[in-house]
């Protein structure tokens, strides 16, 4: 019975490693109890939202008793939210941005899918440094786009700019950068970003169909040790920026993000009209209004990033003491250590035997490493120390 | 500069009539003042949400101060919401439904797009009785599906079942029914629905790729004069039902809906797994959690439908007194009267001259009529009476 398309059937069969670990985790927790399992598999921010969220939700509740308090809003978002975003992004991106350049979306994921729908023709290629967030392949694949990973440089996962430049063909429609990076936690340097921007400008000189630099930055606020995440808009006119409040406000489930097009982009109005249209016709219609109002009020707020920094330092200690090699992440909340012995599947299995959950790097297009998410309490990280040691020793 | 795809560029150019009227409305209101314009162009429910929404939002606010209170939830939805939906839908659909048969979605629009992504291969055909909600074409078109309208029978917009049966080809993947209907307000009879279910069962006898009956029913609760909206699941095993809380809870902007697959469908697990997957990979990830919690608590609640019924009776009076022909709607909150003289564009223009906004039937694949939405106050309907008379007289 062909109840679904073959392509979707295949996707179900090869479904995300992250989700598989999620299910394995549920199984282990059921068998051994919640406290026995150290689950580093999911990137679900577990820190409470800023305390101001409570008062803002009360205000929204008061608004809900009014006609159209929770009704449809313009497809591009509530004016109050777009204004707030424009203010925040002007500063962050070191470029004057107006509300009309910003579109409220169903999370950053909704933004990227709406963007791809607007610009991708079947056969178009999307470059991304690997390792990478595996859903990018689905996001462009819905519309016939083909993701082309370009392996990053070890040991510190810098993007390989020469290889990226060589991989560009007339069909390349976008280069994705995700910095701070999921799964490595690496922040790309200003120098590398400037070079990348220059490549994009150069390629676009003779082009009728622009090549876009797509900066997916849900983790922008998550930078440690005073690290700077370079502004993207000044790098090339052909830049678009996606972000969300999922991590900064621990609001992932409410699905609020944004799409920002560079105001200096040639024909930027057409791109904005297109993403506003696809945001509607893909069935999002508009970003959730309760979340929009909440994010508008808290646009510059953030969860306590010190919590994530302490976890980062503790996880570094745990891995070091277990003799596991890793690059210290400067951003996000992930570690991407090397698998002792080199086989990420074996390492994940050895960790599973210790009731520790991680995701094999193969799930991010980069075998030989694993991803550990520090969106869990410090106590869990501390508790995992002996298990990491035993698992690493078993593979040495 | 080809900043977007040609297909999206064309869509922008031919953008929705409804939105065009929306913009025209803003213009008129700016020029003549809010009170001077009678805007029947948009289906944005303007009645306040049930008063219980206030208390429920307060509870959600209290929940928001907890870790993961607003974090990601399972892609198919919060268990508490799916359970609530299963209970409500078991009764409504006269068929036992379990939580696993229901997926929470970003409105009914998100449900239909996720479903089409799961089942539509390029070249597949989707049948729909016309007039129809014009976005259906985009929803299946994203994935290469082709919408095939089948003209309904006048004067009362019954679906033409013979014509629908004749229009079925081996590539027909789904038949959409939308009852109570947008834009006509018609509720399909139990007899017609049973015949349609029988057609679907018959077609599927020799089929490897099932033909689905897709019931899009955001207006199910909006039935007047004791009219019954027949349950859909008993009609054919190959039925799927989409709904939302946009209208019943005046929650359209928060984007909460659901997808329900018939528990008796062969291989139903595959379809459910597929829609759960596409719900994730289309970037929805999960339906907004604040909305899910609100709808879970208010799953059987509703705005005051008496308000809509009074408006319906008043609009009927206004149109009758203006000598405009129409079928009395039994459901939803729309009227779809005939244009005096037969030209819907001319009628819309004549109404515009009276500062009355409606949408030409051409925008619903059915020229010669116009759509009027009664999601506005009775005072506005009353105020429009003289304008309707003059506009109709000018075309007689």
Alpha carbon distance B386, B392 (integer Å): 10
A186: left (phi over 0), alpha (psi -120 to 50) or beta: beta
- Provide the shortest C-alpha distance from residue A119 to chain B (in Å): 4
Rounded to 5 degrees, φ, ψ at B192 are -60, -40
Predicted confidence at residue B15, as pLDDT, reads: 67
Nearest to A105 by CA among B68, B14, B255: B255
Nearest neighbour of A70 by CB, restricted to B73, B106, B253: B253
- Please report residues of A whose CB lies closer than 8 A to that of B62: 54
Residues on chain A touching B45 (C-beta within 8 angstroms) = 68, 71
Considering only the beta carbons, identify the residue of B114, B271, B283 that sits closest to A139.
B283
Residues paired with residue B153 on neighbouring β-strands, in sequence order: B158
Segment 82-111 of chain B within 8 Å of chain A by CB: 106-107, 109-111
- Which residue in chain B has the smallest CA separation from A278? B8
**Non-local CB neighbours of B129 within 8 Å, separated by 6+ positions:** B149, B150, B151, B152, B157, B159, B160, B164, B176, B177
| Residue B254 touches chain A, beta carbons under 8 Å | yes
- DSSP class of residue A337 equals P
Task: Tell me the CB-side half-sphere exposure of residue B192, using CA atoms within 13 A.
Answer: 18
Task: List the beta strands (DSSP E) in chain A.
Answer: 38-39, 102-105, 125-130, 146-151, 172-177, 212-216, 239-244, 257-261, 334-335, 356-357, 359-360, 370-373
**Distance from chain centroid for Cα A149:** 16
| Cα radius of gyration rounded to whole Å, chain A | 21
A72 touches chain B (CB under 8 A): yes
pLDDT at A165: 98
Domain residue spans in chain A? 6-49+303-395, 53-297
Nearest to A49 among B62, B64, B251 (CB): B64
Identify which of A201, A222, A213, A206 has the alpha carbon closest to the alpha carbon of residue A308: A222
Q: Which of A173, A204, A283 to mutate to test the interface with B (most CBs of B within 10 A)?
A: A283
* Min Cα separation B40/chain A (Å): 15
CATH class of B70-297: alpha beta
Contacts of residue B10, defined as CB under 8 A and 6 or more positions apart, other chains included, come to none
* C-alpha to C-alpha distance for B54 and B50, rounded to whole angstroms: 8
Would you call A107 and B210 a contact, using CB atoms and an 8 Å cutoff? no
Interface test with A, best of B2, B4, B376 (most A CBs within 10 A): B4
Question: What pTM was estimated for this model as a whole?
Answer: 0.96
| Residue A121 distance to chain B (closest CA, Å) | 6
Query: Could you tell me which residues come within 8 angstroms of residue A352 by beta carbon, excluding any fewer than 6 positions away?
Result: A24, A28
Q: Please, where are the H alpha helices in chain B?
A: 6-13, 17-32, 52-64, 79-92, 107-119, 135-141, 161-167, 190-204, 268-281, 289-297, 305-321, 344-353, 378-383, 385-395
Please answer yes or no on whether A71 and B110 come within 8 Å at the CB atom.
Answer: no
CA distance A6 to B274: 11
Min Cα distance A315 → chain B (Å) is 20
Say whether A111 and B252 touch across the interface (CB within 8 A): no
**A:B CB pairs within 8 Å:** 279
For chain B, say whether A136 makes contact (Cβ under 8 Å): no
Name the minimum distance, in Å, from the CA of B260 to any CA of chain A: 15
A119 part of contact set with chain B, CB < 8 Å: yes
CATH topology of domain B6-49+303-395: 3.90.1150
> Which of A249, A254, A285 is facing B290, going by the closest CB pair?
A254
Which residues are within 8 A (CB) of A387 and not within 5 positions of it... i.e. 6 or more apart? A38, A351, A354, A355, A356
DSSP one-letter string for B6-60: HHHHHHHHT--HHHHHHHHHHHHHHHH-GGG-EE-------SPPPTHHHHHHHHH
Q: Nearest C-alpha of chain B: how many angstroms from A245?
A: 11
CB within 8 Å of B290: residues ≥ 6 apart = A57, A254, A288, A290, A291, B57, B60, B70, B254
Q: Which of B65, B67, B288 sits opposite A46 (nearest CB)?
A: B67
Find chain B residues with C-beta within 8 A of A281's C-beta.
11, 135, 138-139, 142
Q: What is the C-alpha to C-alpha distance for residues B384 and A355, in angstroms, rounded to an integer? A: 69
A284 touches chain B (CB under 8 A): yes
For A38, what's the count of Cα atoms within 13 Å in the CB-facing half-sphere? 25
Under DSSP, is residue B302 helix (H, G, I), strand (E, B) or coil? Answer: coil
Q: Yes or no: say if A354 and A391 are a contact pair by the CB < 8 Å rule.
A: yes
- CA separation for the pair A273, A238 (Å, rounded): 16
Would you write out chain A's pLDDT as a tens digit for each of its 396 residues?
899 999 999 888 876 666 677 778 888 888 998 888 999 998 889 999 999 999 999 999 998 888 888 999 999 999 999 999 999 999 999 999 999 999 999 999 999 999 999 999 999 999 999 999 999 999 999 999 999 999 999 999 999 999 999 999 999 999 999 999 999 999 999 999 999 999 999 999 989 999 999 999 999 999 999 999 999 999 999 999 999 999 999 999 999 999 999 999 999 999 999 999 999 999 999 999 999 999 999 999 999 999 999 999 999 999 999 999 999 999 999 999 999 999 999 999 999 999 999 999 999 999 999 999 999 999 999 999 999 999 999 998
Residue among A1, A57, A249 whose CB faces B57 most closely: A57
Helix axes A344-353, A17-32, angle to 10 degrees: 20
Residues forming beta bridges with residue B359, ordered by sequence position: B371
- How far, in Å, CA of B169 to CA of B164, rounded? 10
A271 to chain B: which residues are within 8 Å by CB?
A: 3-4
- State the sign of the Cα–Cα–Cα–Cα dihedral A54, A59, A60, A65: positive
Query: Is A139 at the interface with chain B, CB within 8 A?
Result: yes
Burial of A100 (C-beta count, 10 Å sphere; 0-12/13-18/19+): middle
Q: How far is A217 from chain B (nearest CA, A)?
A: 15
Q: In chain A, what's the furthest Cα-to-Cα distance?
A: 66
Confidence at residue B19, expressed as pLDDT on a 0 to 100 scale? 67
Q: Which of B133, B183, B137 is nearest to B338 (CA)?
A: B183
Among B11, B71, B285, beta carbon nearest to A45 = B71
| B122 lies within 8 A of chain A by CB | no
Contact with chain A for residue B57, Cβ under 8 A:
yes
Q: Do A290 and B110 touch (CB under 8 A)?
A: no
Angle subtended at Cα B53 by Cα B51 and Cα B57, rounded to the nearest 5 degrees: 140
Interface of A with B in 173-232 (CB under 8 A): 208-210
Could you tell me if B61 lies within 8 Å of chain A, comparing CB atoms? Answer: yes
d(CA A231, CA A19): 33
CA angle A285, B22, B305 (to 5 degrees): 70
C-alpha to C-alpha distance for A176 and A93, rounded to whole angstroms: 17
In this structure, what token pair is assigned to residue B13? 């150019």
CATH number for the domain formed by residue range(s) A53-297: 3.40.640.10
Question: Which parts of chain B have pLDDT scores under 70?
Answer: 15-19
Name the token pair of A291: 């979340």
Scan residues 15-34 of B and list those with Cβ closer than 8 Å to A: 15
Buried b (16+ CB within 10 A) or exposed e, B31-58: eeeeeebbbbbbbbbbbbbbeebbebbe
Q: At what angle do helices A6-13 and B107-119 cross, to 10 degrees?
A: 100
Using the beta-carbon criterion (under 8 Å), do B284 and A139 form an inter-chain contact?
no
Burial label for A169, CB within 10 Å (0-12, 13-18, 19+), is exposed
Round to the nearest angstrom and report the end-to-end CA distance of chain A.
48
Residues of chain A positioned with their CB less than 8 A from the CB of B271: 3-4
Burial A31-64 (b: 16+ CB within 10 A, else e): eeeeeebbbbbbbbbbbbbbeebbebbeebbebb
CB A4 within 8 A of CB B118: yes
CB contact under 8 A, B70 and A254: yes
- Rounded to the nearest angstrom, the minimum Cα separation between A167 and chain B is 21
DSSP output for A129-183: EES--THHHHHHHTTT-EEEEEEPBTTTTB--HHHHHHH--TTEEEEEE-SS-TT
């Amino acid at each position: 019975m062909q109840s679904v398309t073959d392509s979707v059937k295949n996707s179900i069969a090869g479904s995300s490693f992250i989700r598989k670990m999620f299910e394995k985790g549920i199984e282990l927790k059921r068998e051994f109890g919640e406290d026995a399992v150290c689950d580093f598999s999911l990137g679900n921010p577990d820190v409470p939202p800023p305390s101001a969220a409570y008062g803002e939700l009360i205000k929204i509740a008061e608004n809900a008793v009014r006609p159209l308090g929770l009704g449809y809003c313009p497809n591009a978002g509530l004016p109050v939210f777009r204004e707030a975003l424009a203010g925040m992004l002007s500063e962050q991106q070191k470029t004057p941005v107006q509300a009309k350049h910003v579109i409220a979306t169903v999370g950053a994921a909704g933004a990227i899918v709406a963007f791809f729908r607007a610009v991708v023709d079947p056969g178009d290629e999307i470059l991304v440094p690997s390792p990478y967030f595996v859903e990018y392949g689905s996001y462009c694949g819905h519309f016939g786009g083909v993701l082309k990973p370009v392996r990053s440089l070890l040991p510190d996962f810098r993007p390989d700019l020469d290889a990226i430049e060589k991989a560009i063909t007339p069909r390349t429609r976008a280069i994705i950068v995700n910095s701070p990076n999921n799964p490595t936690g690496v922040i790309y340097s200003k120098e590398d970003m400037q070079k990348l921007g220059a490549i994009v400008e150069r390629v676009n000189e003779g082009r009728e169909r622009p090549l876009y630099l797509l900066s997916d930055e849900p983790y922008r606020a998550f930078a440690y040790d005073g690290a700077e995440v370079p502004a993207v808009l000044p790098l090339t006119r052909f830049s678009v920026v996606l972000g969300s409040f999922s991590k900064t406000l621990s609001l992932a489930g409410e699905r609020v993000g944004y799409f920002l097009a560079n105001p200096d982009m040639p024909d930027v109005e057409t791109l904005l009209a297109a993403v506003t249209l696809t945001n509607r016709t893909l069935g999002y219609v508009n970003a959730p209004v309760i979340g929009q109002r909440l994010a508008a009020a808290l646009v510059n707020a953030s969860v306590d990033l010190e919590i994530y920094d302490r976890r980062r330092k503790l996880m570094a200690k745990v891995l070091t003491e277990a003799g596991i090699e890793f690059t210290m992440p400067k951003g996000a909340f992930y570690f991407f250590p090397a698998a002792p012995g080199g086989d990420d599947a074996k390492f994940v299995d050895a960790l599973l035997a210790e009731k520790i959950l991680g995701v094999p790097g193969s799930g991010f297009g980069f075998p030989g490493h694993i991803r550990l998410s520090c969106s869990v309490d410090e106590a869990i990280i501390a508790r995992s120390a002996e298990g990491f040691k035993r698992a690493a020793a078993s593979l040495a």
